[in-house]
């Protein structure tokens, strides 16, 4: 029992797919890349949400590619939250072996080099889309323009905070905090939206956790708990603001 009075709808978006493998997953078992882990966690998250009485659906249920800008459109008027699931990777360098842990993003301009790195890495998926011409500057302008129309900034930031609080508890690499950056996949969202970097494929411990059935299940359960906490808070706020509407 979650205490939710309504039956809210959440859309879960397993990142990448099809000819876009996502990051290659340095320490994932052979033949597994980010797109597979995202789909595994996404399916389990849908099940965990449904178990908690939430109407949950996926942007993709198979190994197929959806354009970045089409994904958030699966979360429409009757949908309370869009959740994109990804795996982080640290480029080769001094910090490669040590960087680990989970972080949750909402859409806003990046403030740190790490945030810019993650947004670049995820936005780079656009090169796998056949119909979308790659125009880095135009794309950046597109994101910045959308930022100004981001009426759900506060809700998205709060959802990120509540989800991050739960996943950091169960993650072997711990939490890296709530983050913000210009993700193309979130820029077309017209509802509250977050993106979870579930851990580093370039870290031995994180990669083993993410590739395991137990790890994926624990992550999905924790994310679902965070989402329930957000939805409960949102329901309470509506009840107060709406005066029992």
Binding site for Zn ion (CB under 5 A): 15, 22, 86, 122
Q: State which residue, 86 or 191, has the beta carbon closest to Zn ion.
A: 86
Q: Indicate the pairing of strand 175-181 with strand 9-14.
A: unpaired
Q: State which residue, 22 or 182, has the beta carbon closest to Zn ion.
A: 22
161: Cα within 13 Å, side-chain hemisphere: 8
From the CB of 200, what's the least distance to Zn ion, in Å? 12
Burial class (CB in 10 A: 0-12, 13-18, 19+), 117: middle
From the CB of 73, what's the least distance to Zn ion, in Å? 19
From the CB of 108, what's the least distance to Zn ion, in Å? 19
Taking alpha carbons only, the member of 191, 167, 190, 175 closest to residue 85 is 167
Q: State which residue, 33 or 96, has the beta carbon closest to Zn ion.
A: 33
From the CB of 89, what's the least distance to Zn ion, in Å? 8
Region for 199 from its dihedrals, namely left if φ exceeds 0, alpha if ψ lies in -120 to 50, beta otherwise: left
From the CB of 34, what's the least distance to Zn ion, in Å? 5
Q: State which residue, 15 or 215, has the beta carbon closest to Zn ion.
A: 15
Burial class (CB in 10 A: 0-12, 13-18, 19+), 153: middle
Q: State which residue, 22 or 221, has the beta carbon closest to Zn ion.
A: 22
> Which residues share a beta bridge with 133?
none
- State the residue number with the nearest CB to Zn ion: 86
Helix intervals (H) in 52-126: 68-71, 113-123
> Which residues share a beta bridge with 88?
200
């Amino acid at each position: 029992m979650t205490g939710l009075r309504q039956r809210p709808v959440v859309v879960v978006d397993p990142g990448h797919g099809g000819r876009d493998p996502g990051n290659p997953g340095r320490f994932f078992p052979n033949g597994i890349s980010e797109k597979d882990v995202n789909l595994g966690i996404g399916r389990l998250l849908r099940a965990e949400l449904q178990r908690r009485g939430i109407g949950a659906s996926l942007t993709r249920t198979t190994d197929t590619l959806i354009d970045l800008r089409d994904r958030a459109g699966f979360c429409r008027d009757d949908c309370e939250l869009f959740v994109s699931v990804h795996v982080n990777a640290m480029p080769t360098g001094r910090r490669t072996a040590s960087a680990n842990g989970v972080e949750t993003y909402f859409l806003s301009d990046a403030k740190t080099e790490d945030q810019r790195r993650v947004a670049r890495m995820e936005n780079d998926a656009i090169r796998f889309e056949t119909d979308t011409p790659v125009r880095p500057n135009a794309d950046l302008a597109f994101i910045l323009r959308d930022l100004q129309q981001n009426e759900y900034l506060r809700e998205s930031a709060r959802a990120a905070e509540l989800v991050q609080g739960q996943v950091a508890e169960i993650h072997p690499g711990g939490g890296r905090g709530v983050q913000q950056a210009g993700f193309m996949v979130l820029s077309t969202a017209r509802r509250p939206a977050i993106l979870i970097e579930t851990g580093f494929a370039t870290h031995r411990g994180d990669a083993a956790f993410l590739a395991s059935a137990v790890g994926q299940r624990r992550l999905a359960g924790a994310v679902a708990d965070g989402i329930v906490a957000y939805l409960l808070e949102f329901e309470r706020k509506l009840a107060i603001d709406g005066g029992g509407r």
